[in-house]
Amino acid sequence: MYGHWDIDAALSDVLSADDTGEALNTGIGVVVPVSKVIEAVNQERFAEARREEVQKRKARQAPTPDAPG
C-alpha cells in the first residue's frame, strides 16, 4: 500500500455514521504497478549489488582445501 487519504472529520457525517470527530480513512489507496517495481530493482546498480552478493555466498559455500573429500 503506497498511501491513503483521510477526509476531514467535518465530512465524516456525510460518508459514515462515525461521530468520534476524528478523521476518517476513506479506504482509497495507491498501488504501484509491478512493472515499475521490476524496473526499479533491475537498475544496474542494484543488479551489480545482487551479482556481488551471489559471488560472496558462493565463495562462502565453496569447499575448502582441508574439507573431507
Task: Provide the whole-model pTM.
Answer: 0.42
Residues 21, 8, 20: CA angle, nearest 5 degrees: 15
Residues 31, 36, 38: CA angle, nearest 5 degrees: 120
Q: What is the pLDDT of residue 53?
A: 94
Q: What is the mean pLDDT of the chain?
A: 74
Contacts for 18-24: CB closer than 8 Å, 24+ residues apart: none
Of 6-15, 39-48, 53-62, the least confident: 6-15
Compute the distance between CA of residue 69 and CA of residue 54 in angstroms, rounded to an integer. 24
Residue 48, phi then psi, degrees to nearest 5: -65, -40
Who wins on pLDDT, 5 or 47?
47
pLDDT tens-digit series, residues 4-32: 556 665 555 555 545 555 656 666 667 78
Q: What is the pLDDT of residue 1?
A: 47
